[in-house]
Chain A
């Protein structure tokens, strides 16, 4: 079978399409164009060997690595022959730095830079909502992480939207960014959970990638990171709104408000019922106390009642007696009064009689009857001869009748 050049190159390209590979080499001959950067990758020692490479600007930017001549990297990509010039080149999809020292340096540099920008500052972190139900989960469908997460999530009807993403090496970068972007644009999730089990420093490079870190920091939906790590904290973890160290811990964190609330509700219920029970008990004891008091008072009344009646009786009898006494007194005193009065009258009568007697004795008529006479000068009784003069007319009063006479001689 004979091909045309074009047909043959097409056939080769179909074969090459599946030949994705990771290749380590040294960057040289960098040529930056508007949308694409071309460079050569060559072995630093051994026989001369060169691969033509190209990387789209968008991917280059995402990788967060500034190409320099002589820089040692591992590229990931797919070969393809560009037909017009028949050149095989690798379309680069990922770039990783090689060598612990270089990685460490890049990590420190980026960390400082983002720190300075305030990307990790606590005040810019969003709060993971309490009682979240809609969760956006970002992880690899092949990893253990997702299993750990689901196994440790409380069953309270969480609605989990899972976005499958690579989580190893730099290839994970575009996936992670896409996932975060998708959830922010297309979902109503309340929290994004980015998880991955522990791994080597190199394998975690995507989580130290500037673009990924910025995507996490820029997410409108709060991000919870559960990325296992051994030494330096991945920068994604620092940028997340909340970070825990494992996928299991992430599930527990999401569940904790729910789980704690279950217990909390139980406690509140116990408290509430206790309070009410106490209240009832208190009221009951108060009631008992009151009724006891009432009973006591009543019984004291019962007890005192006969005494009271006795008392009343006594008082009444005293009153009765007093009234009788008074009556008697009154009667007595009336009698006495009468007696006294009569006596007084008798005495008075007697005295009057005595007076009469005396008066009777003293009556001049009585003397006259005995033979005595009275001598008047007109109305005046003559008691002394000196009152008289010779020739004076006088009147003699006898017991019976009277006589006028004239004085002849006076003897003194």
Chain B
């Protein structure tokens, strides 16, 4: 199911993003090159997450009840 995969990606992207933010907080002295690399990764993740969270109209569909007329056994 593609939707599930996407969800997983949003969840895992969030996790990765958290890890990056924590990484910054944990480092006492950050190398600028490393920091820049992490920020680049972080920005990509943010972009992705935002695209997943962008406002998209919900789809609403009523189920056709093929069994409606049938008696319950």
Given A134-B3, A276-B24, do A265 and B11 touch, yes or no (CB 8 Å)?
no
Max chain B Cβ within 10 angstroms of own Cβ: one of A59, A131, A141: A131
What 1/0 flags go to A118-138 for Cβ under 8 Å of B? 000000000001111110000
What is the CA–CA distance of A268 and B43 in the complex, to the nearest angstrom?
10
Q: Mark B1-25, 1 if CB is under 8 A from A, else 0.
A: 1011011001100100110110011
Of A24-32, A108-116, A161-169, the stretch lying at the interface with chain B is: A161-169
Q: A280's contact among B25, B32, B59, by CB below 8 Å, is which?
A: B32
The answer to whether A155 touches B55, judged by C-beta atoms less than 8 angstroms apart, is: yes
Count chain B residues whose beta carbon lies closer than 8 angstroms to a beta carbon of A.
Answer: 41
- Among B35, B36, B67, the one with the most A-chain Cβ atoms within 10 Å of its Cβ is B35
What is the chain B residue whose CB lies nearest that of A132? Answer: B7
Q: Which of B42, B50, B63, B71 contacts A272 (CB 8 A)?
A: B42
Residue from A141, A159, A273 in contact with B59 in the complex, judged by beta carbons closer than 8 Å: A159
Which A134-155 residues have a C-beta within 8 angstroms of B?
134, 141, 150, 153, 155
Q: How far is the CA of A173 from the CA of B39 in the complex (A)?
A: 55
Known: A265-B46, A279-B35. A58 touches B73 (CB 8 A): yes
Looking at the assembled complex, report how far the CB atom of A92 sits from the nearest CB atom of chain B, in whole angstroms: 13
Residues of A within 8 A of B59 (CB): 157-160
Quick check: is A156 within 8 A (CB to CB) of the other chain? yes
Residue A399 CB within 8 A of the other chain: no
| Measured CA separation A273–B24 after assembly (Å) | 10
List, in ascending order, chain B residues with CB within 8 A of A258's CB.
Answer: 53
- Are A272 and B24 in touch, CB under 8 angstroms? yes
In the complex, A182 has a CB within 8 A of chain B? yes
Contact A161 B53 (CB under 8 A): no
B46 nearest CB across to chain A (Å)? 5
Chain A 257-298 interface 0/1 with B at a Cβ cutoff of 8 Å (1 = within): 010011011001101110110011001000000000000000
Given contacts A162-B62, A188-B1, A268-B18, contact A178 B67 (CB under 8 A): yes
Contact between B56 and A156, CB atoms less than 8 A apart: yes
Measured between C-beta atoms, what is the minimum distance from A161 to chain B in Å?
Answer: 6
A62 within 8 A of B: yes
Tell me if A398 is interfacial: C-beta within 8 Å of chain B.
no
Give the complex CA separation of A189 and B57 in angstroms.
Answer: 18
User: Is the CB–CB distance between A279 and B30 below 8 Å?
Assistant: yes
Q: Is the CB of B21 within 8 A of A271?
A: yes
What's the Cα separation between A188 and B4 when bound, in Å? 10
A160 near B72 (CB under 8 angstroms)? no
Q: Which residues of A contact B65 (CB under 8 A)?
A: 163-164, 178, 182
> What residues of chain A lie closer than 8 Å to B53, measured between beta carbons?
156, 258, 261-262, 265
| A376 CB within 8 Å of chain B | no
B residues within 8 A CB of A276? 24, 35-36, 39
Q: What 1/0 mask marks residues of chain A from 176 to 215 whose CB sits below 8 Å from any chain B CB? A: 0110001000001010000000000000000000000000
Chain B 38-73 near chain A by CB (<8 Å), digits 1 or 0: 010011001001101111111111110101000111
Q: Which of B57, B60, B61, B62 has the most CB of A within 10 A?
A: B60
Residue A79 is within 8 A (CB to CB) of chain B in the complex: no
Within the complex, the shortest CB–CB distance from A190 to chain B, in Å, comes to 8
Chain A 219-276 interface residues, beta-carbon cutoff 8 Å to B? 258, 261-262, 264-265, 268-269, 271-273, 275-276
Is the beta-carbon distance between A275 and B24 smaller than 8 angstroms?
A: yes
Q: Distance (Å) between the CB of A265 and the closest chain B CB?
A: 5
Instruction: Report the bound CA distance from A258 to B67 in whole Å.
Output: 35
A173 CB to closest chain B CB (Å) equals: 10
Is A77 in contact with chain B by the CB < 8 A criterion?
no
How near does chain A come to B8, taking the closest CB pair, in angstroms?
9
A153 surroundings in chain B (CB, below 8 A):
58
Are B46 and A164 in touch, CB under 8 angstroms? no
17 residue pairs of the A-B complex, CB under 8 angstroms, read: A56-B72, A156-B55, A156-B56, A157-B59, A159-B58, A159-B59, A160-B60, A161-B61, A162-B62, A162-B63, A178-B72, A262-B53, A265-B17, A272-B43, A272-B46, A275-B24, A276-B35
Given contacts A56-B71, A156-B58, A272-B46, 7 further A-B contacts (CB under 8 A): A58-B73, A155-B58, A163-B62, A163-B63, A182-B67, A269-B42, A269-B46
Contacts from B to A (Cβ < 8 Å): 1, 3-4, 6-7, 10-11, 14, 17-18, 20-21, 24-25, 30, 32, 35-36, 39, 42-43, 46, 49-50, 52-63, 65, 67, 71-73
